[in-house]
Amino acid sequence: MSKDKEKRRIDQLRKLLQHYNHQYYNLSISEVSDFEYDNLLKELIDLELKNPDYSDSSSASVSVGGDSNVEFEKEAHSFPMLSLDNTYSKEELFDFESRNKKLLPEDYQYICELKYDGASISLKYENGILIRALTRGDGTTGDNVTANVKTIKSIPLKLKGTDYPDNFEIRGEIFIPHEGFNEMNRIREENGEPEFANPRNTASGSLKTLNTSIVASRPLDCFLYYIISKNLPSNSHYENMQLAREWGFNVPSIIQKCKDINEVIKFIEYWDIERLNLPYDIDGIVIKIDNLKQQQKLGMTAKSPRWATSFKFKADQVKTKLLSIDYQVGRTGAITPVANLEPVLLAGTTVKRASLHNSDQINLFDIRVNDFVYVEKGGEIIPKIVGVDKDLRTEDSKAVEYIKSCPECGTELVRDEGEAKHYCPNDTGCPPQIKGRIEHFISRKAMNIGAAEATVEALVDKGLIHDIGDLYFLTKEDLLSLERFAEKSASNLIESIEKSKEVPFHKVLFALGIRYVGETVAKTIASELKTIENIKNASLEELIEINEIGERIAASIIDYFKSEIHLKIIDKLKISGVQFEINVDNEQESENKLNNQTFVISGTFEKHSRDELKELIVKYGGKNTGSISAKTNYLLAGENIGPSKLEKVRKLNIPIISEDEFLKMIE
């Protein structure tokens, strides 16, 4: 394909993908399958890589998310981003109405909207292009999270039409729908990772994640609900939001005009019940004066606008009897106490169990067996106990003695300093940990071996495997001895195990299940140290020197390799042919153009992600560090560098080099 044809195809793909995104996220119309969409997106990315001079920051490919890390800079909001006053009763709503009538003798109407339970965001557009995204922060300044926000497909990078203001801000809420949240936790459970507590905290935490590829992998969505500009097309908030939908924004369809506070209350009463059927969390209703001139007339206090308020729903809470406490053992050995309750209806479902989190939580509320406890459901995975009705405490209530030994294997529990949970240290002999580690090892993001949880349980229970290394010594005959295994399914599993020997080293390192070593950490360590032998022999100081590796992770790695059982398992895996080193061309690896020079990377880059630049530095004999010191040789600088870093390198007379200058150094 000629260059001209490639560029025409790029334009065609960008336009097509922008249309599909708008149809799916704004109109809930799926015109193509995920498979077709992904293929088109891949084609666009490949063509853009071949034609870097034809880049466009509003391309749909930008929303895919790369491996680049972004440092968040504080920036001032163009307009203050204030919080809303909260009301909790109908009486307070009538007080809100009375204040408005005193200041607005003319007629006015309210707009009622749902109050989404997520993370607030302010988006700035110039000439139809998204140029900045800020968190609320303190209302005056917020964190610049533009790179992360660009990975959210329901946020348009380039607007539709031409009738939008040249310069404006639009504000909204970033959230995670229930379906996506549940799927995330299902995968985390499979991987033996702690599950996320609730959608709101996960959405907020995702925005502050430094790796944009992680943000892109999360099912974040965004509703927009307020526009600010000096030249808006309408004097009505309601009409402006309808126009914003036409420009490509994901404006909620649930928005209602109300002529007085009585109609507002009817809207609140309806959604207080109906919210249980929504596919996302809300925690109240927002009430606004519709007319923008009337909004200006009412003005603002130091903290909140006078022309708006929010009615907060009470948390779903019930009281029931605590019958007993079970203790569950996770893959990492973490102990979680779970309360068994007298069945009770809560938020439309019958609740029989609730989380007690840890021993500190039990002591904090002085929870006892046979107490009547308050149970709350506020977006948690399972309900949680939030208090005790001590007035109903009887003589048969029993103080909780937190277990001292593992309920599965009897090993004495430990609790590390600074940790909230107790742990069973018998990671190689405790049945739930053994099964959990094997399930983690074979999971999709680790070795990607096609076996179900029930298969792992059957293999362990029958004594065919005792650890992850035994998987590679299974025979077809072993599998055929299990129930529900036929010739084809046995062959498929053996083939899947064989294929896993091709999985790259960083995924193998993650699959080992070393505590605190997740996907990103495993990739960083593998990239720096290259082989399992180097990692095994690394000192605490050497590990801490690796960027983003703290003392807790380093100590966990060292403890892992002290275990003779772990070393024997690794030997089994080595014999089986599992990848335990990075495949790097020997000639390239021997190059030493950077000659142990130390680099600090800051900002965002055009040609490479930050992780790719780090790999290049190591590959050519250099070192990466996360902070600037007198030992730093170069600051490799992209866009949006923090002013504090610039000031420090200038004081220390450290050379600042661009991405192109760095690439010339290693040519």
Residues noted as catalytic: 115
Q: Which of 501, 513, 507, 509 is nearest to 471 (CA)?
A: 501
- For residue 409, how many other CB atoms are within 10 A of its CB? 16
Residue 461 near residue 513 (C-beta atoms within 8 A): no
Helix (H) or strand (E) holding 637: strand 634-637
Q: Which of 489, 456, 490 is nearest to 471 (CA)?
A: 456
Question: Quick one: angle between helices 261-274 and 90-103, nearest 10?
Answer: 150
CA atoms within 13 A on the CB side of 314: 8
What is the chain's length?
667
- Tokens matching residue 109: 């109407």
Dist CA 175 CA 199 (whole Å): 7
- Tokens matching residue 526: 């593998």
Enumerate the β-bridge partners of residue 113: 255, 286
First to last CA, the chain: 29
Q: Which of 225, 224, 204, 226 is nearest to 215 (CA)?
A: 204
Residue 632 near residue 659 (C-beta atoms within 8 A): no
Residue with tokens 């965004």: 222
Residue 256 near residue 286 (C-beta atoms within 8 A): no
Dist CA 384 CA 368 (whole Å): 15
Q: Which of 297, 269, 421 is nearest to 359 (CA)?
A: 421
Residue 526 near residue 619 (C-beta atoms within 8 A): no
Helix (H, G, I), strand (E, B), or coil: what is residue 169? strand
- Tokens matching residue 379: 């977006």
The edge-to-edge listing of strands for the beta sheet with 656-657 is 623-624, 598-602, 634-637, 656-657
For 9-84, strand residue ranges (E) read 74-76
